[in-house]
Amino acid sequence: MSDSITAEAAQGVDGRRARGDASRRAVLTFATDLVSVEGLDGLSIGRLAEESGHSKSSIAGLFQNKAGLQLATVDAGRAVFMAVVVDPAREQPRGLPRLVTLMDHLIEYSRTRVFAGGCFFAAVSADVDSKPGPVRDAVRAAMSDWYGYIEAQVRYAAEAGELALDAAGIEALAFELPALYEQANARSLLYGDDRPYEIAARAMRERLVRAGADATTLAPLERPRTAR
C-alpha cells in the first residue's frame, strides 16, 4: 500500500472520529438538559431521539444502551459543572477566597439555568439515591468529590486563620453551605422565583461571618440575584 493511500485512509478514520465526537457532544447537550428537567429515569434512547432530532440507531451506536447513555450523561453534566463552577474558582487562592467564589458561582450556575432544570446533580441525585448500580456509583463519586472539595477549602481557611473553626465546625460549615444552595435551587424551581438565591447568599455570608471571616472577603455573596 502506498504512502498516499495510507495517509488518505488515516485521514478518513480521523474524519469519522471527529464527526462521531461532534455527534456525541451534541447529543449529550440535549441529554443533560433533558435530565435536569425529567430526571435520569426519563432518559432513554427513544426519548433522546425525539428531543434531539438524532435517529435512535445513531444514538444507540454512540452509547450502546440506556445504561451507557446515562453514564455518559452524568459525565457530561459533571464536565459542565466543573467548567462553570469549579475551574474558574481555582483562579482564587485556596481557602476562604476560593470558597466564597465557589458559592457565588454555584448560585449563579443554578440561577442562570445553565441547565433548563436548574442544578443537574440535584435532579440526578433524587433519581438514583436509593437505586444501587453503576449509575448511582457515578453520581455518588461526583457528589463526594464536590462535597470533599468544599470541605477542603473550609479546612484550608481554618488552617490559614481565615476562619475560627475546630474539626467539628469545619465539618458543619462544609455541610451547611451546599445545603443552603440546594434548598435555594429547589425553591426557585418550584416557585419560579429568584428570591431564594438572595436568601441563600445572605445566609452563607452570615454563617461565614459567624465563623470568623473578614466581611471584606465576602463581597461576591452580596451582589443582586434577581436579574437574569
Instruction: Walk along the chain (228 residues) and give the pLDDT tens digit of each residue.
Output: 566 555 554 444 555 565 657 878 888 999 999 999 988 888 888 888 887 778 888 888 888 888 899 999 999 999 999 999 999 999 999 999 999 999 999 999 999 999 999 999 999 998 888 888 999 999 999 999 999 999 999 999 999 999 999 999 999 999 999 999 999 999 999 999 999 999 999 999 999 999 999 999 999 999 888 755
pTM of the model: 0.87
Residue 54 confidence (pLDDT): 81
Task: Tell which residue, 137, 122, 133, 99, has the closest CA to residue 185.
Answer: 122
Q: Label residues 1-37 b or e (16+ Cβ within 10 Å = b).
A: eeeeeeeeeeeeeeeeeeeeeebbeebbebbbbbbbe
CA–CA gap between residue 193 and residue 18 (Å, rounded): 41
Q: Directed axis angle between helix 96-111 and helix 195-210, to 10°?
A: 170
Taken as a whole, the chain contains a residue count of 228
Residue position matching grid coordinates 464536590: 146
pLDDT digits (tens, 9 = 90+) for 122-173: 999 988 888 889 999 999 999 999 999 999 999 999 999 999 999 999 999 9
Domains and CATH numbers, the chain: 3-222 (1.10.357.10)
Q: CB of 111 within 8 A of CB of 228? A: yes
